[in-house]
A and B are shown apart, each in its own frame.
Chain A
Amino acid sequence: MLRQTWGMTADTGADIGDVGLFGEGGARWQPVSPRLATARCIVLWGCLLFVATVAVVLAVTVDRWWWWAAAAGALALGVWATWLVRRQVAAITWAELPEDLVIRTGRLFRRLVSIPYGRLQYVDLQSGPLQRRLGLASLEMHTASPESSGVIPGLPVRVAEDLRERLTVRGESQRAGL
């Protein structure tokens, strides 16, 4: 859409001007792993099934009809949340531009964040036990301002490690400090 070249990025084709708030644009957008949805759903269903089980046990022992309704409600909530989680995970995409890392998140509340490589102070690679089982890791970018931290959740570990390596190298070469 808005192709503005300022002499800096003319040779590389992709330009942040191509970045749309939604839709494809010209940049090479990379999705996060769909296994992130699996990880989030496991946590979600873990909680909801516990609630539903308790409700069913109570329904059998106390014999009040609303406990059945509560169990059904929990299951319905789970189905809706599963759909939501899948949509949310599918909405997370990121792209490496010549000067910046760009991350898009959200469907209802959309957000587009750009972090210049030269501004990166440090990069965190995080992975919880569940994420590790699924071979996933989160990458968190920190600049001098806590307000501008960007997170890419649920990258395959290999991709996350490679990206961190590239970010560190680019951060060194384009370092701008404050």
Chain B
Amino acid sequence: MSDADRWQRFHPLTPLLKGGVATVAVIGWVVGQQVDRVFGAAREDPTRGNWGPAAALVGLVVVVVVIAAWATWRVSRFRLGDANLEVHTGLVFRQQRRVRYDRIQAVDVVRPLLARLVGLSEVRVESGGGSDSNVQLAFLTDATARGLRDELLTLAGHGDEAPAARGPEDGIPSREQAHGDTVLRIPNARLVQSALYSVEAVLVVLAVPTLALAVLLEWPAVLTAVGPVTLAVGARKVGQLVRWFNFHVTDSGESLRVRHGLTDLRTSSVPRHRIQAVQLTQGPTWRLPGWWRLDVNIAGVGGGEEGTATTVMPVGTFAEAERLLAILVPGVDRDIVAEAATSTGPGPSRRFVASPRRARRLDPVGWGRSGYAVTPRAVVTRAGAVVRRVQVVPHARIQSMTVSQGPWERRLDLAVVRLVSTVGAVSPLVEHLSTGDALTLFGEQTARSAAARTAVDPSEDRPEAPPARSPDGS
């Protein structure tokens, strides 16, 4: 196959959809004018009888816009090269972008509302290095988009991990795994309920009678002070709800696929071998129903748009969290994680190393929860009495470690240990350990992480690195 015929164009409706909002507005305006005319409410003719020139001008603008859009569409194209995804866009400001397959971190299929109506999708390719390095392939038919996503994931996978390094389930080619088992499906009723069980909901509930009263008693000051805030808080919560609607997670072997959204259907994939740390959180209002939220750090995917790519469970029971956790961090000790959710001090199994009692001077409420436990695969940290938090960091994924101690901590002989992960929603740390315990963790964890790093086949992470180690290490 020659190079030329591997170039692909986007769907011809692309320019129309990209100018989607503008198109809808213009059509709406024209329709509105016609309706006015039909019902006889039209004001005087704005062209003052000069119908011909006005029509010609409008026609000219339309023709120019259409030609420009068509030309832009003609020059925009992409192809899957030997080692890169290549994308050319722009008519006047031309841009050529290449993304190496082995730098691809995640591939999402996004379907904005208008595109969804005509059965089109956008493929979003995220590579390491912030939002500038992302590539949007818009728009393609749904089937093409899904195929392209699978193909890119396969190419990225081949570039990134030797096929032999994977588990025994490898017989199945990845494209057939693409539509895997549903691991988690969150009922919409629960999403609504969880939105009600929040501080924002309480505020809105308190604010509504106040506003009603203000209207009745004619207090404009109260209305202007409370009204916009209530509206903003409410709208934000509703926006979140709309985004998380129809949330479900499927397991396709190499990655988890997260789909959600009421108006904009979003599909993001979470490559399993890039997961760096996992965090479970539970606010005070979720204590009663026993709900948790699950966030992950993924290498190369920073905290971009508000938790979209990194929240794998917006609200779920502990059992559901455990199920996801078993996939995200295989072989994690479930008992310890369950214990970390609620225990204080050394915990029922006495495997937790917790803050000493003197730490209550620095953290009078949460000191008893602060602590960590070591499992064969990962460190499990525990914190927070009001907002409970559990973090799981695989030994092999710790980037570096820091022990720090300020003057107040030194007087109490306490120290903080940070298990530095990549950028993301989770920043693992254990606060207020006794200095001795902190140094034990620091020292032992260094050795554990080193052992775990060498145990992991280097080819799984980075094939270009030679697996051979020089014997003397220098």
Contact = CB atoms under 8 A, between A and B. Distances in A.
Max chain A C-beta neighbours (<10 A), residue from B276, B447, B473? B447
Contacts of B404: 109-112
Given A108-B407, A147-B418, 17 more contacts: A1-B439, A4-B444, A6-B450, A8-B451, A9-B450, A17-B447, A19-B442, A110-B404, A114-B446, A115-B400, A145-B423, A146-B423, A148-B402, A169-B470, A172-B465, A174-B454, A177-B461
A173 B401 contact: no
A81 B161 CA distance: 53
B473 A173 contact: yes
A113 B443 contact: no
A16 interface: yes
Contacts of A8: 447, 450-451, 454
Contacts of B405: 21, 109-111
A116 B406 contact: no
29 contacts: A2-B443, A5-B447, A8-B447, A16-B442, A17-B443, A21-B415, A97-B446, A109-B404, A110-B406, A110-B410, A112-B404, A113-B400, A114-B401, A114-B446, A116-B453, A118-B450, A143-B400, A144-B399, A145-B420, A145-B422, A169-B470, A172-B466, A173-B473, A176-B453, A176-B458, A176-B462, A177-B458, A178-B276, A178-B422
B97 interface: no
A15 B427 contact: no
The 8 lowest CB-CB distance pairs between A and B, nearest first, are A17-B443, A148-B400, A177-B462, A148-B420, A6-B447, A177-B461, A175-B465, A178-B299
Interface string A159-178: 00000001001101111111
Contacts of A17: 443-444, 447
A100 to B, nearest CB: 6
A64 to B, nearest CB: 38
Interface in B417-474: 418, 420-423, 427, 435-436, 438-440, 442-444, 446-451, 453-454, 456, 458, 461-462, 465-466, 469-470, 473-474
Nearest to B407: A108
B406 A114 contact: no
Interface string A115-158: 11011000000000000000000000001111110100000000
A7 interface: yes
B274 interface: yes
Nearest to A98: B473
B116 to A, nearest CB: 34
B453 A16 contact: no
Contacts of B458: 175-177
Interface residues of A, number: 47
B407 A109 contact: yes
Contact of B443 (A4, A115, A146): A4
Max chain A C-beta neighbours (<10 A), residue from B397, B440, B446, B456? B446
Interface of B: 274, 276, 299-300, 396-397, 399-407, 410, 415, 418, 420-423, 427, 435-436, 438-440, 442-444, 446-451, 453-454, 456, 458, 461-462, 465-466, 469-470, 473-474
Max chain A C-beta neighbours (<10 A), residue from B400, B420, B427? B400
A25 to B, nearest CB: 9
A160 B108 CA distance: 44
A20 interface: yes
Contacts of B422: 144-145, 178
Contacts of B474: 166, 169-170
A119 B276 CA distance: 13
Interface of A: 1-2, 4-9, 15-21, 97-100, 108-116, 118-119, 143-148, 150, 166, 169-170, 172-178
A113 to B, nearest CB: 5
Contacts of B399: 119, 143-145, 147-148
Contacts of B449: 116
A176 B406 CA distance: 32
Contacts of A144: 299, 399, 422
Max chain B C-beta neighbours (<10 A), residue from A1, A5, A20, A144? A144
Contacts of A6: 444, 447-448, 450-451
A1 B442 CA distance: 13
B450 A116 contact: yes
Contacts of A2: 436, 439-440, 443-444
A170 B450 CA distance: 13
Contacts of A150: 400
Contacts of A176: 396, 453, 456, 458, 461-462
Nearest to A100: B446
B446 A99 contact: yes
Given A173-B473, A176-B458, A178-B461, A113 B447 contact: no
A173 B397 CA distance: 18
Nearest to A114: B401
Contacts of B444: 2, 4, 6, 17
Nearest to B465: A175
A99 B448 CA distance: 11
Nearest to A17: B443
A147 B276 CA distance: 14
Given A2-B443, A148-B420, A174 B396 contact: no
B400 A119 contact: yes
A146 B303 CA distance: 13
A16 B441 CA distance: 11
